[in-house]
Amino acid sequence: MPTVERRLVVTEEAGLHARPAALFAQTAARYESEVTVARAVEPAAPDAGREVSARSVLALMTLNIRCGDEIVIRAQGTDSSAVVDALALIASPS
């Protein structure tokens, strides 16, 4: 199965908290691909590499992603490109 990964800076004012996190999780759930999100951090940081399911609002909120933070969205499955594109629009609306 294809895997797609995208790094981006969150520009949503609220970051991925409350409503944006709920919209993010609902959108991820509409696709078949398995999707994870991680904070892009330096390797020595305590939460380096910790990925959570993009389908879980609570898991997303534990990452404490704020506006200006860099994240990595990773999807594996038949519709991986589409789900990553959709989630990128939520995290970084133009």
pLDDT in tens, 5-28: 999 999 999 999 999 999 999 999
CATH number at 41 reads: 3.30.1340.10
Cβ(88)–Cβ(59) below 8 Å? no
CB contact set of 50 (below 8 Å; sequence gap of 6+): 38, 39, 63
Q: Which residue is catalytic, options 17, 41, 50, 82?
A: 17
Cβ(3)–Cβ(42) below 8 Å? no
13 a catalytic residue: no
pLDDT of residue 42: 64
pLDDT of residue 41: 76
pLDDT of residue 24: 96
* Predicted TM-score (pTM) above 0.85: yes
Q: How many domains does the chain have?
A: 1
For 35-73, write each residue's pLDDT tens digit.
Answer: 999 998 766 556 666 899 999 999 999 999 999 999 999
| Comparison of pLDDT for 29 and 42, the residue scoring more | 29
> What is the domain extent for residue 12?
3-91
Cβ(24)–Cβ(91) below 8 Å? yes
Residue range 29-35: average pLDDT? 98
